[in-house]
């Protein structure tokens, strides 16, 4: 099994990017991209050490994906480590490590998922690129509010 690391710079302040990652009303908007829905009633997402989280992702065809995990490290607004899986009945979990670094009004986000399934890197990169495009649109909306 391999790891996947993605780095992307967002032209927004670190605290705003942190809020988009850790506040449920923003997470629900960008998690999964703009083609899916995360219904508020399925979302339990509070970035606190040791707290479990869950969310349902509803695909355009109505298929539901049940996501679960736990927050392992929370160092606001610099670092998150959480587990994640779309197989809630399985004990197997991937880890997401997300680091936030502000430079001159922009924020570099470095996210590492480990492990990733064999042969899944290309699909994951494409999926996360779409998630992050939607995250950037949510950040634009947040900044304008």
How does residue 117 score in pLDDT terms, banded at 50, 70 and 90?
Answer: confident
Fold that domain 2-144 belongs to in CATH: Alpha-D-Glucose-1,6-Bisphosphate; Chain A, domain 4 (3.30.530)
* Distance (Å, whole) CA 31 – CA 130: 9
Q: How far is CA 93 from CA 10, 68, 84, 103, 114, in A?
A: 28, 9, 6, 32, 9
Q: What is the per-residue pLDDT for 5?
A: 98
Average pLDDT, the chain: 96
- Closest CA relative to residue 24, chosen from 5, 11, 42, 3: 42
Mean predicted confidence (pLDDT) in 74-79: 99
- Is residue 88 over pLDDT 90? yes
pTM of the entire structure? 0.95
pLDDT by residue (tens digit) across 24-76? 999 999 999 999 999 999 999 999 999 999 999 999 999 999 999 999 999 99
Q: What is the per-residue pLDDT for 79?
A: 99
For the chain, the structural domain boundaries read 2-144
- Is residue 1 over pLDDT 80? no
* Helix residue spans in the chain (DSSP H): 14-22, 24-30, 121-144
- Is residue 16 over pLDDT 90? yes
CB count within 10 Å of CB 80 equals 21
Q: How far is CA 95 from CA 83, 100, 103, 112, in A?
A: 4, 16, 26, 8
């Amino acid at each position: 099994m391999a790891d996947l690391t993605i780095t992307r710079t967002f032209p927004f302040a670190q605290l705003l990017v942190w809020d988009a990652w850790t506040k449920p009303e923003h997470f629900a908007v960008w998690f999964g991209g703009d083609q899916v829905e995360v219904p508020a009633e399925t979302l339990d997402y509070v970035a606190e050490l040791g707290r479990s989280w869950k969310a349902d992702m509803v695909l355009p065809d109505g298929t539901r994906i049940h996501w679960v995990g736990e927050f392992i490290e929370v160092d606001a607004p610099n670092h998150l480590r959480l587990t994640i899986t779309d197989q809630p009945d399985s004990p197997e979990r991937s880890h997401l490590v997300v680091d936030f670094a502000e430079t001159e009004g922009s924020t570099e986000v470095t996210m590492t998922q480990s492990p990733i399934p064999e042969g899944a890197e290309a699909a994951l990169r494409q999926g996360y690129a779409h998630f992050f495009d939607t995250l950037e649109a949510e950040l634009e909306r947040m900044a304008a509010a």
